[in-house]
Structure 1
Amino acid sequence: MTAIDRTPADLLRSALAADPARPLVTFYDDATGERVELSVATFANWVAKTANLLQGELGAEPGERVALLLPAHWQTAVWLLACSSVGVVAQVGGDAGDADHVVAGPGQFEAGLACSGERVALSLAPLGRRFAQVPGGYVDYAVEVPGQGDVFRAYGPVDPESAALVVAGAEFSGGGVVERARGDAGALGLAGPGGRVLSGLSYDTWEGLSAGLYAALAAGGSVVLCRNLDLLGEDALAKRIESERVTSTAR
């Protein structure tokens, strides 16, 4: 994080310049046993590819709305930063009929068909597996994203004062996301680099998005993002907190 970071995408660029090898997002799904660890560099590469898909193949333009019908997941985090990179509004949940494009996961494909624009389906399966049969009306993210470029360049500068995020009915600019995330970092034990927060919160509130992504990014820390954490016993959770060197929790 630097003083000139004014959008979430800026925060990621600064993290990449500072220490590309450090962990940024470690994801667990306690329903499947999946564990994925993404360094800053690996995460940024996924973001670049996804932003290229969004801007190029899907034709998304700054100011358009992309409905993210997705749970708290490392691929959702990638899409949030890709939207920031392009300058489109990440609309977490909500009515897909109000969006220009939709990105949906299992259980949300029917709802996503309300969007008349481009639709992308994510299997959210371990190892990012492709669909055996792609849901009707969608393209498969796992098929489309690998061939995208590893470097992203927006067609124009992203305005930090423009809308960037809608969650739980509240709208935030890119600069507003950065400012709020910086304010949350201290309360989450992420006052400086090296802080590591474990979050079991969903992504359907600001608090979940901040604890599960934005605050760690703003503070130069990292997040252990846990899906289906309620399936993990307290003893197993204590072991995870110790093994992952967690400094604080949000659940």
Structure 2
Amino acid sequence: MHHTTVADMLRVITREPGRPRITWYGDGGERVELSGAVLENWVNKTANLLVEEFDAGPGTRVLIDLPPHWRTVVWALSTWRVGACVVLGGGSSAAELPDVVVTDRPSGVVAPTLGSVIAVSLPALSRRFDGDLPTGSVDAASAVMTYSDSLGWAPPVDPRAPALEAPHAPHLTHGELGVEMDSPSGQPARRVLIRPGADRVTGTEACVRETLRELAADGSVVALDPAVARAHAELPQRWERLLAEERVTAVV
């Protein structure tokens, strides 16, 4: 398979639209399963919001201040779908303010410009953000749902434009991101269990990049909240049962 963009990846995972692609185990017993079709709908809705509300496109820097989570994956994929850059951990320089901040803790954010903060509520059944919102910020729980399941106009992806800025890792362009998601032909699709570490930034980076690689290879992922991963690791029988029930073929 040869893929160069997130759009290519989405075409792969929607060839079998009902097949589970992301299964998330959250703290408190939450289990969320997204099929290829449902994941594409979330990405399209979110990408539409980024374009229509924030004019996102190549060169736009979107700081994703979220923990490892299925919603974090959606925001990263949506940012890449419109050719913008995912920034983790504040980016390479404190002097470089992002254009948009996506966060689950908006009260502590100093907005780069009015209205450029998107507050994300993590629980699956949230219909609004449960907390104080900065003036002019966008409540993702309600705003995303107002957009179409189909992608409207989106700027073309520039392979030379920045795609990922993260601490302690080389920055990637969209062309380099395409190389990273490209998988050798003939390789069997995997169902991979992802155990992100406790560090918020590095755990998010690992979760997002591994999910992108596996989906581009026509695979699927089972992702665990760090607290859930620790709880399962302490009980070997529970761990083995999870691997068997989810038909996991690899662990990262």
**Corresponding residue SS for 2:156:** coil
8 Å Cα contact 2:107/2:132 also seen in 1? no
2: distance between equivalents of 1:39 and 1:98?
35
- State, as a whole percentage, how many aligned pairs show the same letter: 35
8 Å Cα contact 2:127/2:142 also seen in 1? no
Q: Which residue of 2 aligns with 1:242?
A: 244
Q: Which amino acid aligns with 1:180?
A: E
CA RMSD of aligned residues (A): 2.4
Within a 5 Å distance, the mapping from 1:1-251 to structure 2 comes to 2-3=1-2, 5-16=3-14, 18-29=15-26, 31-94=27-90, 98-105=97-104, 108-116=105-113, 118-137=116-135, 138-169=137-168, 170-182=170-182, 191-193=187-189, 195-202=190-197, 204-205=201-202, 206-211=205-210, 213-227=211-225, 228=227, 229-232=229-232, 233-250=235-252
Q: 1:79-118, CA deviations, whole angstroms, 9 ceiling, x for partnerless residues?
A: 111111111111123258620010001xx32443243351
2: distance between equivalents of 1:115 and 1:235?
48
Q: Unpaired segments of 5 or more residues in structure 2?
A: none
1 or 2 for the larger relative contact order (CA 8 Å, sep ≥6)?
A: 2
8 Å Cα contact 1:130/1:142 also seen in 2? yes
Q: 1:214-238, CA deviations, whole angstroms, 9 ceiling, x for partnerless residues?
A: 1211211000011121122332121
- The TM-score with structure 2 as length reference comes to 0.85
1: distance between equivalents of 2:6 and 2:54?
21
8 Å Cα contact 2:76/2:208 also seen in 1? no
- The structural deviation recorded for 1:173 is 1.6
1:86–1:154 distance in 2 versus 1, CA, 3 Å: farther
8 Å Cα contact 1:197/1:249 also seen in 2? yes
| Matched residue count | 238
Q: 1:152-187, CA deviations, whole angstroms, 9 ceiling, x for partnerless residues?
A: 13443111232111222531122312322346x99x
1: distance between equivalents of 2:97 and 2:8?
28
1: distance between equivalents of 2:81 and 2:9?
11
1:154–1:62 distance in 2 versus 1, CA, 3 Å: farther
